[in-house]
Amino acid sequence: MRKSLVGIVPILLILGQLACNLPSGVSTATPVPSDTPTPAASATLIILTQNPTITSTPLPQDPLVLRATLCWQGPGPAYPTVSALKVNERVKLLGRGSISGWYIVENPIYHDPCWVQESELQIEPGTDLAGLRIFNPPPTSTPTKPPPTITPSPTP
């Protein structure tokens, strides 16, 4: 009799363990947002019983360059030219200048800020311009000493 119990006990333990893992119809798992990383060691199957409603607000498009134009380190030709913008190119709007009529965009070549005139951009309606960062122009480079004057040398 003892030998027959030795064979039955492991079977009963296995059946008991399987019974604990049977689905009960009630989900106790909490949903995890899709952007939350889950560690591989705790891989868990999560079943959602409801389909969440996903709504998105369309973002305004990046401004369109209306004419081929230059992009400067500051507002206008008093500053060095950084790059050129092509017609019908979209640029990322970073802010507006403290000087009226200028916007700061991401330079499409070097990916740093540069200044472009407002008249060169088409900004989509609905773009929140009031929430843009305000940029002050950098100082202009001033020569430390006047340029040398050229005087003709006398010919013998």
Question: What's the average pLDDT block by block, 10 residues per block, for the chain (156 residues)?
Answer: 60 62 51 47 46 46 93 94 94 94 92 95 88 92 66 72
pLDDT value of position 22 = 54
Q: Report the predicted TM-score, pTM, of the whole model to 2 decimal places.
A: 0.53
pLDDT value of position 144 = 56
* Residues comprising the chain, all counted: 156
Q: Beta strands of 1-156 (E only): which ranges?
A: 64-65, 69-72, 81-85, 93-97, 102-106, 113-117, 121-122, 133-135
Cα–Cα distance between 58 and 127 in angstroms, integer?
11
Cα–Cα distance between 106 and 16 in angstroms, integer?
64
**The token pair that represents 137 in the structure block:** 């122009």
Q: In which element (H, E) is residue 142 found? A: none
Cα–Cα distance between 89 and 108 in angstroms, integer?
9
pLDDT value of position 9 = 65
pLDDT value of position 150 = 75
pLDDT value of position 56 = 39
pLDDT value of position 18 = 60
Assigned fold of 64-135: SH3 type barrels. (2.30.30)
* Beta-carbon-side half-sphere exposure of residue 52 (alpha carbons within 13 Å): 9
